[in-house]
A and B are shown apart, each in its own frame.
Chain A
């Protein structure tokens, strides 16, 4: 069935029977799985209940703040980031200029000897921004990334990327599933979303995860009560939470009550102080007033603490759905990304934890090669992602799509399946079997994304 070009959301739920493959494991309820499926408003933090003795055992066994534990950070550029303007093909500049007309980039800086250029906004920030990181061998680009027969609905495609499954069927996030297999049953901070609601990427079916904008968000706080009385109140809460509970419902309530307190307690030292100082203040400058940068700075700060953070998800606040005035919007979005990511990398290095953090930057699809009449581009295939970090493979890691040979919808031909990247990260960076998380993992092959 040919996929429609974006028609808005009228056709949003229109699916053929065959497309709704049923992959879910039986213990997953439909709802647990569906969260996030519809563009993400609601969130669920589920957890299994377990007896106390096992809880203590799990907690001590985890000690997941252990130095050296590897961390994967997901950075999402929402809206569908354009490949051609992000990495303009200097070797095919004539074709590029023809496709993009007046909105083309005139003289984009070259990306070494790769034959590609780079959007000028990606040179902004500490040490030359993302281009600086590339030049230093800390960025590997993945042009042409997508999946076969791409769906150009934001909701569908985002859901596929979030779950690592090309199905509209409900499922937890791909990183959430990794935590279900390898995470703690006791530490919600292992899967950290920097937002007020959970990233669908980190939705789990059993492992606890947490979402916060700032450590103050998660304190159990009775207004007007502080000091000794606050500690007494929290002690009372701990006793109430620790009371014996029988049955699935009561146990889930008591576990949640206990975890809520432990998250609050563990993050309390990092909340801004009365004197205005911020214990999470970064050691390097971040772009002023940039939400992406602020969130990344908190990720760096929390990863540096013995809190057991394994996975983190951050969304850019910029708009990459550049149907009109792409030069302005893409420029702004990439500038924010470049400044924030460069500061993040410098931060990790300043804190001495850069060797254990790898970042994947992604977007739900690419854009149409030929510009539209509003100086913008419409939804397309074959997008752009990159890995970043001191251990990231560097260079151009996948084939750049042809600018003369398009698919039947006049879109770029996809050169790498995003699940190949997921499998490679799970095995290459997290060191576990990808087949546990990505069905049919063997079929995608692997890329060397980690060195």
Chain B
């Protein structure tokens, strides 16, 4: 019966599954302790044609979890790079009205956030985020 119960929870809609995944954090494996999750800072990001809205411009060092929502019509993604252009992570392609999360451990510094589909970055989908001590 226990198995059935948890199966039922996870069997819900894709949305439910996405939420569970979001709650656990992509970088943190299921079962990761409270302490570790507490050091994760979430950064909400809205994507649309052709810009990002970043809901938190500065974050503390540690695990940064980007919660991307695509409010636009086109597919977008989010790539996190160092200022030197070294790619640290990328969400998958995110459809209109869909969401994705990307969790990265980031040291203090400035990072670039870009959409690397088509010419979206050139059209304005690029911004930066600062990670502080």
Chains A and B touch each other in the complex, with CB atoms below 8 Å apart: yes
Q: Residues of B contacting A167 with CB < 8 Å?
A: none
Contacts A196-B13, A223-B5, A319-B75 given; indicate if A10 touches B49 (C-beta within 8 A). yes
User: Contact: B5 with A8, CB < 8 Å?
Assistant: no
List 22 A-B pairs, Cβ < 8 Å.
A8-B48, A8-B50, A8-B73, A9-B48, A9-B72, A12-B73, A40-B97, A78-B95, A79-B75, A154-B73, A196-B12, A196-B13, A196-B14, A216-B11, A223-B1, A226-B4, A319-B95, A372-B118, A373-B119, A374-B118, A374-B119, A376-B118
* Interface: A246 (CB within 8 A): no
A139 to B75, CA, bound (A): 30
Give the A-binding residues of B (Cβ under 8 A): 1, 4-5, 8, 11-15, 48-50, 71-75, 93, 95-97, 117-119
* Interface: A7 (CB within 8 A): yes
Looking across the interface, which residue of chain B has its beta carbon closest to that of A78? B95
Q: Residues of B contacting A7 with CB < 8 Å?
A: 49
* Interface: A351 (CB within 8 A): no
Interface centre among A323, A372, A373 (most CB of B within 10 A): A323
Q: Residues of A contacting B119 with CB < 8 Å?
A: 373-374
Q: What are the interface flags for A118-156 relative to B under an 8 Å C-beta threshold, 1 for contact and 0 otherwise? A: 000000000000000000000000000000000001110
Tell me the minimal C-beta distance from A336 to chain B in angstroms.
15
Q: Residues of A contacting B97 with CB < 8 Å?
A: 39-41
Number of residues on chain A facing chain B (CB within 8 A): 32
User: Contact: A223 with B118, CB < 8 Å?
Assistant: no
* Interface: A446 (CB within 8 A): no
Q: Residues of A contacting B12 with CB < 8 Å?
A: 196
> At the interface, is chain A mostly helix, strand, loop or mixed?
loop
* Interface: A265 (CB within 8 A): no
Q: Residues of B contacting A79 with CB < 8 Å?
A: 75
Looking across the interface, which residue of chain B has its beta carbon closest to that of A10? B49
User: Contact: B118 with A321, CB < 8 Å?
Assistant: no
Among A1-38, those with CB < 8 Å from B are 6-10, 12
Partner of A321, one of B4, B49, B75: B75
* Interface: A217 (CB within 8 A): yes
* Interface: A95 (CB within 8 A): no
Interface centre among A6, A197, A321 (most CB of B within 10 A): A321
* Interface: A427 (CB within 8 A): no
* Interface: A224 (CB within 8 A): yes
Give the B-binding residues of A (Cβ under 8 A): 6-10, 12, 39-41, 78-79, 153-155, 196-197, 213-214, 216-217, 221, 223-224, 226, 319, 321, 323-324, 372-374, 376
A213 to B12, CA, bound (A): 9
Q: Residues of B contacting A324 with CB < 8 Å?
A: 117-118
A153 to B75, CA, bound (A): 13
Q: Residues of B contacting A376 with CB < 8 Å?
A: 118
Looking across the interface, which residue of chain B has its beta carbon closest to that of A153? B73
Partner of B11, one of A12, A41, A217, A226: A217
Q: Residues of A contacting B13 with CB < 8 Å?
A: 196-197, 213
Contacts A9-B49, A223-B4, A226-B1 given; indicate if A323 touches B73 (C-beta within 8 A). no
A216 to B72, CA, bound (A): 33
A337 to B99, CA, bound (A): 24
Looking across the interface, which residue of chain B has its beta carbon closest to that of A7? B49
Contacts A323-B118, A373-B119 given; indicate if A8 touches B72 (C-beta within 8 A). yes
Tell me the minimal C-beta distance from B4 to chain A in angstroms.
7
Contacts A323-B74, A324-B118 given; indicate if A154 touches B8 (C-beta within 8 A). no
Tell me the minimal C-beta distance from A308 to chain B in angstroms.
25
Q: Residues of A contacting B117 with CB < 8 Å?
A: 323-324
Q: Residues of B contacting A213 with CB < 8 Å?
A: 13
A8 to B117, CA, bound (A): 15
Q: Residues of B contacting A221 with CB < 8 Å?
A: 8
Tell me the minimal C-beta distance from A254 to chain B in angstroms.
26
